[in-house]
Amino acid sequence: MPKPSIVEQIEAVGFGRYQWIVMAAFVLFILSDGMELIVSNIIWRALPKEEWGMDDDFRAVLVSASYMGFFLGSIAGGIAGDWVGRLWIIYAHAIIFIPASILAACSNGMYQLLVTRFLVGLSMGALLPTCVSLVAEFSPRKQRGRAIIAIPGLAYASGVILILSVGLLLIGVCGEDGESCEWWRGMLLAGVIPDAIAIYIVLHYLEESPRFLLTRGRVEEAEESIRKIAALNETSDKLLEGGALEPLPEEDVSSESKPEKQLAHLFQPPVLNHMLIIMSSWTLLSASLFCAALIYPLVMEDQGVSTSGQYFLMIQWAAVEIPVVLLLMWLMEQSWAPRRGMIIVMGLLSTLVGVLAGLSLGSGLVWVHVTQLLFRMTAVGPYEFFYVYAAELLPTTHRNQGVSIGNGTTKFVALLLPLFMFPIYNAHHALPFYVAAAASAAAAGILIFLGTDPSADLLDVVSQVEASEETPLIKQKA
């Protein structure tokens, strides 16, 4: 008689104290992420540009450096996370992030700042997809979608709000010109505190993913991980057969035993079909979201808003993401709201609002700000929803690297956008918003004609993944 499956044991363990503690750590990690990925852009006015020999063109390079690091970190961390385990990626993040953030705050020249911002992005890139994979893998079916989206959604918005609030506080003490103190250094250092707290929690509580251990043939370790989670949740009495797990078929475990084989499967049907959807649609949605984030500070500068006034308006701009994420968390549990369908609807809505945001630029500050808020709300929804969609489409053997590559391509777009969108904005202020609207429409179109909905239960190995008959992007060989 077969032993209980990993799905049955995860459902028996339930969602309890363990998940809440670990999610708190992940929220703190991504809180730092939200702070770090915008800080280079918003401190530009206060940097000693003349002293360091920086011209306006260097602004795009500095902003892109963090995203370049995020892109490379996503790729490297994602692949390594499916080879050596999720925990090791989080440890590697800790080793890089805190020293790099401190060195960035102590910068004495533009190249030191550029390199340290790249390293900060590198560490964050490896971290975020790993957190998403872990949350997906230890969450029961009912809570999984909400738990996944809470990590990047609520935490990222809170991080943006926090760093802007820190900026307002420092400006209030030092003044906008920064003559009494270089307040921008404090903003570069702010992300260290939540990250350090998160690392402490991880070291004391986080277990390796039992799903990952099972796919590597480490059944006893997976069973021990399940028992520890159940003990912290006080649900040990609900474990089936004391937490025993049915091993995966030997052929599935052996087929993923070598890194080169595992990586090759990512670019072969049936997994490749899902990867093409993830990379193309998510990348297009990111163009819309990051364009709004990059151009909004420029819009405020052109409206004559002071640095402190700009930060205050951007707090509102970031805060509107929170009700959107709460709405998405509610939609996750509705049977009439399939994952793919909701991304399509939100993508089309973002298209309409993006055009409106571009048309509004000739109006007064109030109307411009309102349309920018609406654009932020509609652009962030489908992008954040994609974390859930991607994590549920891919099997455990390829989830970390698949989500990482998909999310990494979005950051690759983000690193290119400043190089193109800043000059485009200078040529025609509304054009970046029209480009963003077109990107959202294209993403929705891909999902309409080629997308598929994920399985209710997470898949663990490639043999469980069935290429959708409705969307045969690349047919499997007979």
Average pLDDT of every residue of the chain? 87
More confident residue, 468 or 254: 254
Of the candidate ranges 93-97, 177-181, 228-232, 375-379, the one whose mean pLDDT is the lowest: 177-181
- Say if residue 471's pLDDT is above 50: no
pTM above 0.85, yes or no: yes
**Average pLDDT for residues 227-234, to the nearest whole number?**
96
Q: Give the Å distances, CA to CA, from 118 to 67, 72, 113, 124, 404.
A: 7, 10, 9, 10, 17
3-state SS assignment for residue 468: coil
Tell me how far apart the alpha carbons of residues 113 and 102 are, in angstroms, rounded to a whole number.
11
Calculate what percentage of the chain has a pLDDT beyond 70.
Answer: 95
> Residue 350: which pLDDT band, with cuts at 50, 70 and 90?
very high
Unique residue bearing structure tokens 């990482």: 404
pLDDT in tens, 275-297: 999 999 999 999 999 887 788 88
Counts of helices then strands in the chain (DSSP H, E) = 20, 0
- Say if residue 473's pLDDT is above 70: no
pLDDT in tens, 409-462: 888 887 788 778 888 888 888 999 999 999 999 999 999 998 888 887 888 888
- Radius of gyration from C-alpha coordinates of the chain: 22
**Average pLDDT for residues 469-477, to the nearest whole number?**
41
Task: Give the Cβ contact number of residue 302 at 10 Å.
Answer: 12
